[in-house]
Amino acid sequence: MRIAIASNDHMGLNSQVSAHFGKCPYYTIVDIENGNIETIKNLQNPFSEHTQGQVPAFINEQKVNILITGGIGSRAIDFFNNFDIKVISGISGRIANILNDYINGKYNEVSTPKTCKEK
């Protein structure tokens, strides 16, 4: 399973989850197998300005199954749904802690994502 996490910096597991997936500076890409973190890589967001669908397409090109972010717009969610990528939003904190929670089943149910405009 491959997870992309919208990240505030390039510090890998020590990064904080970004509040907005499309405008975050980095994505932390993590491969998980049998409940263990196998690989971690940091990718810079290639779009300082983007049109609709560019960032979801970029994430899809990374062969991601799940996106974790603080907030995300409804149109972006539609793009991810079309790519069959699950979205977990409303998340904040250190990536290592978030992944530990995910591996331990805290985020096994994907509910209606919180959009960027919701507080």
**CATH classification at residue 97:** 3.30.420.130
Residue 115 lies in a domain: no
Question: What averages of pLDDT result for each successive group of 10 residues across the chain (119 residues)?
Answer: 96 95 94 95 86 90 96 91 93 96 78 48
Residue 114 lies in a domain: no
Residue 110 lies in a domain: no
Q: List, in order, residues 6 or more apart from 114 with CB less than 8 Å away.
A: 71, 72, 89, 90
Residue 97 lies in a domain: yes
CA terminus-to-terminus distance, the chain: 30
Q: Domain of 39?
A: 2-103
Residue 84 lies in a domain: yes
Residue 119 lies in a domain: no
Number of domains making up the chain: 1
Residue 51 lies in a domain: yes
| Res 50: pLDDT | 62
Q: List, in order, residues 6 or more apart from 94 with CB less than 8 Å away.
A: 13, 14, 15, 16, 17
| Res 108: pLDDT | 54
Q: For residue 77, what are the CA distances in angstroms to 38, 56, 74, 94, 111? A: 27, 9, 5, 23, 12
Helix axes 74-82, 54-61, angle to 10 degrees: 40
Could you tell me the pTM of the whole model? 0.89
Residue 66 lies in a domain: yes
The bridge status of strand 36-44 relative to strand 2-7 is unpaired
